[in-house]
Chain A
Amino acid sequence: MKRFLEKLVEGALLLSGSITSITILLIVIFLFKEASGLFNSPVIEEGYVLGLNKANPVKDLNSYQIKQIFDGEITNWDEVGGKEEPIEVVRLSDLTKYYTEEELGASFENIPSKASELTSKHAGIILFLPKEYIAKNFNGTLLNHETLRPGDFFGGKEWYPTASPSAQYGLLPLLLGTIWVSLGAILLSLPFGIAVAVYLAEIASMRVRNFLKPLIELLAGIPSVVYGFFGLVVIVPFLQESFKLPVGETALAGSIVLAIMALPTIITVAEDAMRTVPRATKEASLALGATQWQTIYRVIIPYAKSGITSAAVLGIGRAIGETMAVLMVTGNAAVIPHTLLEPVRTIPATIAAELGEASAGSGHYQALFALGCILFLITMVISISIEFISKKKYN
């Protein structure tokens, strides 16, 4: 009976132990499941079709080309592989420019036939209509089977989920925004973090250390939304004033806030690494006549190099995944940034800001889950590389 109980408890403990692994597995399954529909979702709005003139050799437009055509950025078919012919964009509301309201019918019953007639007459036309207005004997080419391609997501230069007729789910501006903000943060906080770690591990007296450590722990405990709030009411106006910017919500503001948030992680990990330097190694250096400072930068820092690298990588990981603070201070403009003084939007901020308004199962929803997958993969790579770095040290 007793033995049985022991085994039962051990089983329960093992089950608890496996929950983190199960969670990781479930995260992978659910994230990828929800995101998987993205490349099966239509390029243009659900229920709509694009119609071209029969003679038009263009049979295939990608998401970005469609957007540029409807924004008037592409005005000639030869830019998308067709003949030299000006593009004529016709939406449902534009039909009244070609036909009077009587011709279209009192309850628009003539739209299908008129749309078909219009398409056959105009060589450069691109027609964007709901499916129900397309006649059975439509006299033109329909581009309605297109689905979003991986290139539209991974190589897309614009994130504009509400664009009509073709929503833009380009990863690049968000990925670059994330990288800019995180790199800025780590460049600011790494020198600081290492300096503080050296000070705590090698220079400060026990008393000073006992005073500083809890404060740094406190810094780690402050919620990210409070950092975001502080950034919004203090750092953002400060940057706007000192750089004479139109808006203070910039990548730099995000970097500064993230740098402060990443500091405790970097300090703690780097300090721990420096503490593992064997006393004998230190004493040997000092006995050879090296000063304490020479010992630090010739012996201790090189010895703790892998730990310091882990600290940097962990700091980057925290910065990349941080959501609320960044969402509140970076201005959230989904454009590819050129300087740190422009508004940017990061991957986590995009998910947090937009998931509420994306209806479940829509292309937008799936695209946000795809962003989640990207974020998850990045952090997995970071976790695994830390595992690798710290293992290398012991070999």
Chain B
Amino acid sequence: MTPIINTNNSDRKKRWSQAIAFTIFKLMSYSVVAILILILGFIVSKGIGVISWDFLTKAPEEGMTKGGIFPAIVGTLYLVLGSSLFSFPVGIMSGIYMNEYAAGSKIATFIRIMTNNLSGVPSVVFGLFGMALFVNTMGFGDSILAGSLTLGLLSLPLVIRTTEESLKAIDFSYREGSLALGATKLQTIRKVILPMALPNIITGLILSIGRVSGETAPILFTVAAYFLPKLPTGIFDQVMALPYHLYVITTSGTDIEASRGIAYGTALVLIFIVLLVNILANVLRNYFSKKVKTN
């Protein structure tokens, strides 16, 4: 009889250790949520009072201690736009090549390894590289063009990966069906594959916009300006940018204490962009996945 009692004992012990372990895991998981709520809650509560129509539409005044952040918002918008103009077409084309033309080949493997490597390169190295190539060697100077290209290269791996994965998710029978009807490969991609993959690709592109709008290190030496009295007029102008603005007014402003309020407001605007981008991406994802199911 002894063995049975032992089994019961170890059974209880097993159940106990499971209960304890699971509780710990659950607590740890929810503490991650708590951290997120702490960060968001802190910045929202401190920053919400600063946000006003004037804050969003006026230029900084009195050494960044008063006024708004309009030029920084415009600058970030230009940089997002500029980098997207470069990274979206190149990234999508690259993804198409890897999945539709070179899938499984040595070239695709090589490109994939290089793309992974590029996505591991720290953002400050992109900044160094952008400064050496675009600003100095190509002679663009500190400009929207140099900053956009640097940011575009930085977000390229994300766009490529999203495109490739979206294409991979499409069942092979669609390609065969189209080809069997006499369509060429290009027609198949353009008329069948891309429209199907587009929702997922767009979701990825939106997320990459979120990433680009928050990057600071790559624009430090390629485009960002501490303060500009007027808005940029061409692609060879410098701009102010939201993340850089937050960095300078918290670390090296003329009066750091006095510009704290502006800093909270700027941080809140950045958080708001990220929230917007994430919600938009999630809504799109859910909407399209439902649509696919009902089809």
Are A and B genuine complex partners? yes
Query: Which stretch (A82-90, A148-156, A209-217) binds chain B?
Result: A209-217
| A280 at the binding interface (Cβ < 8 Å) | no
| B179 at the binding interface (Cβ < 8 Å) | no
User: What secondary structure prevails in chain A residues at the interface with B?
Assistant: helix
Complex interface: chain B residues within 8 A of A62 (CB): none
Contacting pair A223 B243 (CB below 8 A): yes
Contacting pair A20 B118 (CB below 8 A): yes
Contacting pair B131 A379 (CB below 8 A): no
The answer to whether A17 and B94 touch (CB under 8 A), given A6-B184, A24-B114, A234-B42, is yes
Contacting pair B18 A293 (CB below 8 A): yes
Query: Which stretch (A70-78, A106-114, A199-207) binds chain B?
Result: A199-207
Contacting pair A20 B122 (CB below 8 A): no
Report how far A380 CA is from B118 CA in the complex, Å.
9
Q: Mark B114-125, 1 if CB is under 8 A from A, else 0.
A: 111110111111
| A51 at the binding interface (Cβ < 8 Å) | no
The answer to whether A228 and B120 touch (CB under 8 A), given A199-B26, A291-B15, is no
Contacting pair B120 A20 (CB below 8 A): no
Complex interface: chain B residues within 8 A of A30 (CB): 128-129, 132-133, 137
Query: Which stretch (A42-50, A96-104, A240-248, A317-325) binds chain B?
Result: A317-325
Of A216, A219, A227, most B-chain CB atoms within 10 Å: A219
| A120 at the binding interface (Cβ < 8 Å) | no
Contacting pair A6 B97 (CB below 8 A): no
- CB-nearest residue of chain B to A369: B128
Contacting pair A225 B97 (CB below 8 A): no
| A2 at the binding interface (Cβ < 8 Å) | yes
Contacting pair B184 A2 (CB below 8 A): yes
Report how far A30 CA is from B136 CA in the complex, Å.
11
Contacting pair B122 A27 (CB below 8 A): no
Shortest distance from the beta carbon of A155 to any chain B beta carbon, whole Å? 23
- CB-nearest residue of chain A to B108: A17
Complex interface: chain A residues within 8 A of B93 (CB): 12-13, 16-17
Report how far A217 CA is from B204 CA in the complex, Å.
13
Shortest distance from the beta carbon of B230 to any chain A beta carbon, whole Å? 22
Contacting pair B29 A291 (CB below 8 A): no
The answer to whether A219 and B43 touch (CB under 8 A), given A214-B278, A321-B122, is no
Contact among A13, A215, A324, A384 for B94, CB-based, below 8 A: A13
Contacting pair B29 A212 (CB below 8 A): yes
| B284 at the binding interface (Cβ < 8 Å) | no
Q: Mark A181-202, 1 if CB is under 8 A from B, else 0.
A: 0000000000110011011100
Complex interface: chain A residues within 8 A of B120 (CB): 314, 317, 321, 379-380, 382-383
Contact among A27, A227, A297, A323 for B124, CB-based, below 8 A: A323
| A303 at the binding interface (Cβ < 8 Å) | no
Q: In chain A, residues 123-181, which have Cβ atoms closer than 8 Å to a Cβ of chain B? A: none
- CB-nearest residue of chain B to A30: B132
Complex interface: chain B residues within 8 A of A291 (CB): 14-15, 18
Shortest distance from the beta carbon of B155 to any chain A beta carbon, whole Å? 12
| A340 at the binding interface (Cβ < 8 Å) | no
Contact among A20, A214, A224 for B156, CB-based, below 8 A: A20
Contacting pair A31 B186 (CB below 8 A): no
Shortest distance from the beta carbon of B81 to any chain A beta carbon, whole Å? 18
Complex interface: chain A residues within 8 A of B136 (CB): 360
Query: Which stretch (B51-59, B170-178, B212-220) binds chain A?
Result: B212-220
Report how far A348 CA is from B124 CA in the complex, Å.
6
The answer to whether A348 and B122 touch (CB under 8 A), given A230-B43, A294-B14, is yes
- CB-nearest residue of chain B to A325: B216
Shortest distance from the beta carbon of A190 to any chain B beta carbon, whole Å? 12
Complex interface: chain A residues within 8 A of B123 (CB): 224, 321, 323
Report how far A229 CA is from B262 CA in the complex, Å.
12
| B153 at the binding interface (Cβ < 8 Å) | yes
Shortest distance from the beta carbon of A284 to any chain B beta carbon, whole Å? 18
Contact among B15, B33, B91, B220 for A215, CB-based, below 8 A: B33
| A356 at the binding interface (Cβ < 8 Å) | yes
Contacting pair A260 B278 (CB below 8 A): no
- CB-nearest residue of chain B to A196: B29
| A263 at the binding interface (Cβ < 8 Å) | yes
| A273 at the binding interface (Cβ < 8 Å) | no
| A61 at the binding interface (Cβ < 8 Å) | no
Contact among A26, A218, A232, A384 for B129, CB-based, below 8 A: A26
Shortest distance from the beta carbon of A301 to any chain B beta carbon, whole Å? 12
Shortest distance from the beta carbon of A200 to any chain B beta carbon, whole Å? 7
Contacting pair B26 A203 (CB below 8 A): yes
Q: Mark B218-257, 1 if CB is under 8 A from A, else 0.
A: 0011000000000000000000000110110011000000
Contacting pair B184 A226 (CB below 8 A): no
Contacting pair A229 B121 (CB below 8 A): no
Interface pairs A-B: 7 shortest CB-CB: A223-B214, A321-B122, A293-B18, A16-B93, A13-B97, A17-B97, A195-B28
Q: Chain B interface (Cβ within 8 Å of chain A)?
A: 14-15, 17-18, 21-22, 24-26, 28-29, 31-33, 35-36, 39, 42-43, 89-91, 93-94, 96-98, 101-102, 107, 110-111, 113-118, 120-125, 127-129, 131-133, 136-137, 153, 156-157, 160, 184-186, 207, 210-211, 213-217, 220-221, 243-244, 246-247, 250-251, 260, 263, 267, 270-271, 274-275, 277-278, 282
19 more contacts with CB within 8 A, not counting A21-B114, A212-B29, A324-B247, are A2-B184, A10-B97, A10-B101, A14-B102, A21-B111, A24-B114, A26-B133, A203-B26, A214-B282, A218-B275, A218-B278, A219-B35, A225-B216, A226-B214, A293-B18, A351-B127, A372-B129, A379-B120, A379-B121
In the assembled complex, 13 residue pairs joining A and B whose CB atoms fall closer than 8 Å, in A order, are A21-B110, A192-B31, A199-B26, A221-B210, A225-B246, A226-B214, A317-B120, A320-B122, A321-B123, A323-B122, A324-B217, A328-B247, A352-B127
